[in-house]
Structure 1
């Protein structure tokens, strides 16, 4: 059953529900907004992982939507926190005015406080000046795409082109598709996650995305000597393309399959008519940042606004201890046999603060 409650904010009414209103997705689609603000992404977290999804809406006096904010609560032995939205880089409040935006954010903060969450995180691309603190340690890397792959090849330069062509000396095959490639994608992804020391998502998570967003989701797989060895999951929304997940088996990087994978992905999205490509988030000057930078991508600052129940600076020592514990857990996970990591990962990953 859907639950609703409302509170008047100036000329606006802010309501909270366990299901989106019928005009939610139309509001998102008619604005320059992230695809992840569409209601089905928050519902995905609910239906696949059992998380609590809430839909915060602001309306004008005449009933028209003034703003939307999806939030997902992840509650387990590993913690209790809310995010807009988890598993992806973008979320936050989408509104037609500053007043509506802050009304949505304030209501979300009230919800998180009442639910006794340790924190609320709103994954915005624009800063707030309304007293919210923000994580700014991450950027997303955006490449403006030329009209043709020939133009892209010229822009990349000879060194990068030679690295891409290295893979062509191997016995490789490139496959692009949807659900039929999921097993191949997942085999590469799961091994890569274990190697990184990170619990893997369950395969049903990707299957649900491919089913619910079949017109937006695409898989690219490169086989090396008949074995899936590099793979990418793409989300394409009109002129914007993003690569939320990409993996390459460690033994295949020496023959350039990681470079070949990104080339094939960029070629595919250009042919689909995309004009910008999102390489995903990175920490400035990290290894992944430099890898993306060499393709011509430029950083775009992310502002992940946060409310924390206990923001006491004296707790910094606790945070440092937790960081050491995380590094230890990562090193242990990397040593697990692949079969055990693949069995345990889907049990742990849904509760992590992705």
Structure 2
């Protein structure tokens, strides 16, 4: 937990989330120095998928994880051991996701960005950093009567799952299943905070934060499409930004964005978040997947079909399909 580049994906609690909710096998590689002290770690999970093949990933359902080590030599040794493990497990490829590039001869895909906001005093951010369209939307949400509060009950997490699932279907992609969020509540309770936006006794949007090592992570979000004109997502984001600063966090990570997703990038950048390249490293080479080209005809066909599936069927299919992805 003391490594400056460590994030919540490196925590043993997150390993429990993935094992318990998705039934993937962990293969964590550790390095020790001559004195027997831990000097490096590379978290990996083996995923067996009929859609994307058998592979090693650091880490599934993360946008950045990768090795933590006390030197570049240790990083190199961890990667070399991971290559050997890929061969031993007969995986078709290995994928390592990092914020910083690894200069180790791995094939790299840079199609994704992280959007990170440097936090400062909220009043100053409101005046100097936050886009006027975001300020207008926050004001509109308040005028419409939207109220945002933190919740931690099982029922609240179930409500958030339902909202998130509806949002994913609207985007044409499988949603996180309920057990995934319940595992986060169980194992990451020290780090997680769930916000729900309410309008006239109805929950209309939600956001799940996971905070660690000075970084507030805007990890998951969703909204009821019938209430988008009331701007609940904007008030949720601003409330989370304010609280994160007041709780002592130094930055606010709005997560992964595909370079082709202009609308999502705009939402994140209007808060003053800066795009930062994510580096997805592959060995021996990057796979060719439908999701690799999100503007391509195959991806658009798959998403258009998923959007048409009735919500009850989406709810039934998502647990099976979801664990095959990412």
Normalised to the residue count of structure 2, the TM-score between the two structures is 0.91
2:178 to 200, 203, 207: 203
> Within 2, Cα distance between the matches of 1:71 and 1:280?
20
Post-superposition Cα deviations, 1:290-329, rounded to whole Å, max 9, x if no partner, equal 2211111111221111113687xxx799x77996443322
8 Å contact from structure 1 (residues 252, 258) kept in 2: no
Q: 1:85 touches 1:91 (CA, 8 Å); kept in 2? A: yes
| Alpha-carbon distance change, 111 to 337 in structure 1, aligned in 2, over 3 angstroms | same
- Residue in 1 that maps onto 2:30: 57
2:309 matched to 1:332?
A: no
Distance 1:238 1:61, change over 3 A: closer
Match in the other structure for 2:251: 276
Extract unaligned runs of 5+ from structure 2: none
Q: Aligned equivalents of 2:294 and 2:89: distance in 1?
A: 26
Q: Where does residue 228 of structure 1 map in the other structure?
A: 203
**How many residue pairs end up in the alignment?**
321
What SS does the corresponding residue of 1:207 show, helix, strand or coil? helix
Superposition map of 1:119-130 within 5 A = 119-130=93-104
Q: Which has the higher contact order (CA 8 A, sep 6+)?
A: 2
Q: 1:316 to 1:259 in 2, by over 3 A?
A: closer
RMSD: 2.3
Shift of the alpha carbon at 1:29?
3.0
1:93 corresponds in structure 2 to 67
| Residues in 2 aligned to 1:320 and 1:226: alpha-carbon distance in whole angstroms | 41
TM-score by length of 1: 0.84
1:73 to 37, 46, 52: 46
- Given that residues 219 and 232 in structure 1 are in contact (C-alpha distance below 8 angstroms), is that contact kept between their aligned partners in structure 2? yes
Give secondary structure in 1 for the equivalent of 2:20.
helix
1:290 alignment partner, one of 266, 275, 278? 266
Unaligned stretches of 5+ residues in structure 1: 1-27
Q: Is this contact kept in 1: 2:4–2:213, CA < 8 A?
A: no
- Where 1:351 maps in the other structure, the secondary structure is coil
Asked which structure has the greater CA Rg, the reply is 1
1:100 CA drift (Å): 0.7
Could you list the per-position Cα deviations for residues 48-88 of structure 1 after superposition, in whole angstroms to 9, with x for gaps in the alignment?
A: 21111111011112211121011001103222111101111
- What is the CA-CA distance between 1:103 and the residue it aligns to? 0.7
Partner of 1:4: none
Aligned to 1:185: 160
Q: Supply the distance in 1 between the matched residues of 2:179 and 2:86 (Cα, whole angstroms).
A: 28
Superposed CA offset, 1:114-162 (max 9, x none): 3222221111111122211211111111111112x22222122544322
Structure 1 pair 269/196, CA: closer, same or farther in 2 (3 Å)? Answer: same
CA drift at 1:229: 0.8
- In structure 2, what is the Cα distance between the partners aligned to 1:310 and 1:247? 30
1:184 offset after TM fit, Å?
A: 2.1
- Runs of 4+ in structure 1 over 6 Å off: 319-322
Q: Distance in 2 between matches of 1:85 and 1:73?
A: 9
Question: Could you tell me how far apart the structure 1 residues matched to 2:215 and 2:223 are?
Answer: 24
Is contact 1:43–1:53 with CA below 8 Å preserved after alignment? no
